Chains A and B, each alone.
Chain A
Amino acid sequence: MKHLKIYCLVIILAAFGIGCASILPGSDPLVVRAEQGLKAADATFNTYVQVEYANRDLLKKVDIKFETVADKIRVGWTNWVVVLDKALLSYKHAKTPENQAALAQAQATVDTNLAAAQALLSQAITNINPNIPKLNPIGN
């Protein structure tokens, strides 16, 4: 649980860093934010699946959704990222309202799943019984 707190803190700081940064002149804010959002989403999804993988049995007892959402991310992320990437490149090369709408739609798909992952990470922090064993470190 303490590991999760640290990961969540870093993710929140990363998101805060993205939100506070100013855009360099000549860059399209929509593109820059979409690209940064893509990187932040990837970092969050990767943290989530690593934590779930390293603590699968424990988290399954807390809520089966941990595994379900992790599998949805594992199977979906590579597809979502392709759709988002395609929409991003289309918008970069032709800044039409249609391409902007397609980019917003692709971002919305990622954001929905990102929210689910973040909510479950928060749930793990607040709901895990303090008497159960400590979570395993990830990345080992």
Chain B
Amino acid sequence: MALALQIIGLVSTNAPILLGLIQKLVDNAHQNKEMTDEEHATLIAAIQHRAVTDPAWRPSPDYKG
């Protein structure tokens, strides 16, 4: 019972992240074909956009290069 409550707590706390990861899993299972050039460009642009906008992707204050 305690374990079930812990799992429910963890899942609900991290629901957006977990749903995103599961969505990726489902996408991968269904997309066993080559990406189009447009899909490709969208993916790369999203990765690069996240790198400059998401605070978690900024180097730490200790980073010396």
Contact = CB atoms under 8 A, between A and B. Distances in A.
A62 interface: no
B55 A138 contact: no
B28 A24 contact: no
Given A3-B10, A77-B47, A81-B47, A14 B21 contact: yes
Residue from B6, B40, B56 with most neighbouring chain A CB atoms (10 Å): B56
Interface in B1-21: 6, 10-11, 13-14, 16-18, 21
Contact of A27 (B10, B28, B33): B33
B32 A22 contact: yes
Contacts of A7: 17, 21
B62 A53 contact: no
A40 interface: yes
Nearest to A18: B28
A129 B11 CA distance: 23
Nearest to B35: A35
A74 B18 contact: no
Interface of A: 2-3, 6-7, 10-11, 13-14, 17-18, 21-24, 26-28, 31-32, 35-36, 38-40, 42-43, 46-47, 49-50, 52-54, 56, 67, 70-71, 74-75, 77-78, 81-82, 85, 88-89, 92, 137-139
6 contacts: A10-B21, A10-B22, A21-B28, A21-B32, A27-B34, A71-B59
